[in-house]
Homo-oligomer: A and B are copies of this chain.
Amino acid sequence: MAKELKNLTKRADNYSAWYNELVVKADLAEQSDVRGCMVIKPYGYAIWEKIQQSLDRRFKETGVQNVYFPMLIPKSFLSKEADHVEGFAKECAVVTHYRLKNAADGSGVVVDPEAKLEEELIIRPTSETTIWNTYRKWIHSWRDLPVLCNQWCNVMRWEMRTRLFLRTSEFLWQEGHTAHATREEAEERAKQMIRLYADFVEKEMAIPLVVGVKSETERFAGALDTYTIEAMMQDGKALQSGTSHFLGQNFGKAFDVQFVDRENKLDYAWATSWGVSTRLMGALIMTHSDDNGLVLPPNLAPIQVVIVPIYKGEEEKAAFDQKLGELAESLRKRGLSVKYDNADNKRPGFKFADYELKGVPVRLVMGGRDLQDGTIEVMRRDTLEKETVPVAGIEDRVEALLADIQTNIFAKAKKFLDEHIFPCDNYEEFKERVKEGGFFLCPWDGTAETEARIKEETQATVRCIPFDSDQSNPGTDMVSGKPAVCRAIIARSY
């Protein structure tokens, strides 16, 4: 084993340090020289591209079209929707000037005071305001509806404490913005998109979820309802992984987007918005990975199969190149992404450690004896199990193994999630146990006061009221003793 790669902090020792180190050591991302902004490196970006492609295809299947809106927003737009301004017109990057000039003393460049903007511009923290200001020009009749737009772009929220992928000042995301003629259609679209996210995250990322609706306190600024997918990290904390908002007519009214409905009456358009971001990368890393490094779901792994020969001398190398080159080609023909690594400037042990660290799902190794015997060693990254098998028919075995890894890591994470959802109706017990992590399904009176007290005393928040839990007899709020209106998932979170 190559020590230089493997001195990764163990999860049990310091989960947070393990994560920070792993992101950097696995070449996914690193801090940039601008506070709170990250550089996404080729290996990390290749995973993000796979996430993008898969989601983009799913969006388009529901009729969504991609667009691009400007990244700069006039400051005054933010004030138009009363709740929205409270949520977003705070920590944001403000453009005040449009020119630099040479410093008089020759020391470099300075901002040209002559080039001050009349109205400051904000780098988008989210684009509801600028998009709805444009929708006013697009929407006049019910025949113009629905409008189903999405954009893949960068956004900026000036965060004070940042962590790679989980919370950065600039991040990449997609934001969908739809306009509808009726309340029902908009509500259904908001729910459709949270289901789409859940399906993608569970099937492709192999991350099990709790899906539900946010409390009023935790809603998106300007929404009537926020739906959420909440994942559980290995430390038992929640990671909000995607949200979909039913915005009612709030933005329609704020930006005067009126249309003539089927009954020939004027009405305001109904809105939704929904987004997932590079934060999903954090969820992916923290859900599956282990003390040896990344564990990637085969459906999103940039390299699904790596093939390493162990050879002595040029002649044996040539024999491997022939034999394993053919194998690689044959696997690629099945649509798999395969790397054949015959590089002679790294020892096999170094390569093994590196591909483990990078979470390549299946590793095939062939040595001199295998060449004689017609065998090959197969290792699966999720369990690290190795097996030596006949090389004939290996393609079927590799395909089956990739499918099995995808299923297995989901099942493992699902078991962990299920074992860490605790029904709880005793606040003393809750306060003690929440420190250890886990999702607590608790009777809640639905008030912001109770939420605030829980947050202050335990740092836990209402993550959501889950869709699929029994809400028929919620019982008594564990904090206030008042009748509960629902059972909510309460947990500490990222």
Q: Which residues from chain A sit less than 8 Å from chain B, CB to CB?
A: 30, 32-34, 37-42, 45-46, 48-49, 65-79, 85, 89-101, 108-109, 111, 120-123, 130, 133-134, 137, 143, 149, 153-154, 156, 158, 170, 172, 345
Contacts and interface: CB of A to CB of B under 8 A. Distances in A.
A235 to B, nearest CB: 27
Contact of A98 (B37, B67, B121, B158): B158
A111 B92 contact: no
Instruction: State the main secondary structure of chain A at its contact with B.
Output: mixed
Nearest to A76: B108
A38 B134 CA distance: 11
A71 B122 CA distance: 14
A175 to B, nearest CB: 14
B71 A32 contact: no
Contact of A72 (B37, B79, B98): B37
B98 A95 contact: no
Contact of A70 (B38, B48, B74, B122): B38
Given A90-B99, A100-B92, A158-B98, A109 B75 contact: yes
A91 to B, nearest CB: 6
A410 to B, nearest CB: 27
B33 A74 contact: yes
Contacts of A95: 93-96, 123
Contacts of A79: 108-109
Contacts of A345: 143
A71 B109 contact: no
B109 A93 contact: no
Contacts of A93: 72, 95, 97-98, 121
18 contacts: A32-B70, A33-B134, A37-B72, A38-B70, A39-B68, A42-B65, A42-B67, A42-B149, A72-B170, A76-B108, A89-B109, A90-B101, A92-B98, A93-B98, A93-B121, A94-B97, A94-B111, A99-B158
Contact of A96 (B33, B41, B96): B96
Contact of A94 (B33, B75, B96, B153): B96
B65 A46 contact: yes
Given A97-B94, A134-B32, A40 B65 contact: no
A23 to B, nearest CB: 14
A109 B75 CA distance: 7
A280 to B, nearest CB: 14
Given A32-B130, A94-B97, A130-B32, A37 B111 contact: no
A72 B109 CA distance: 16
A66 B90 contact: no
Contacts of A68: 39-40, 45, 48, 172
Contact of A34 (B72, B89, B90): B72
A489 B39 CA distance: 40
Given A66-B46, A100-B89, A153-B154, A170 B71 contact: yes
A71 B33 contact: no
A78 to B, nearest CB: 6
Nearest to A100: B89
B71 A45 contact: no
Contacts of A39: 67-70, 134
A100 B108 contact: no
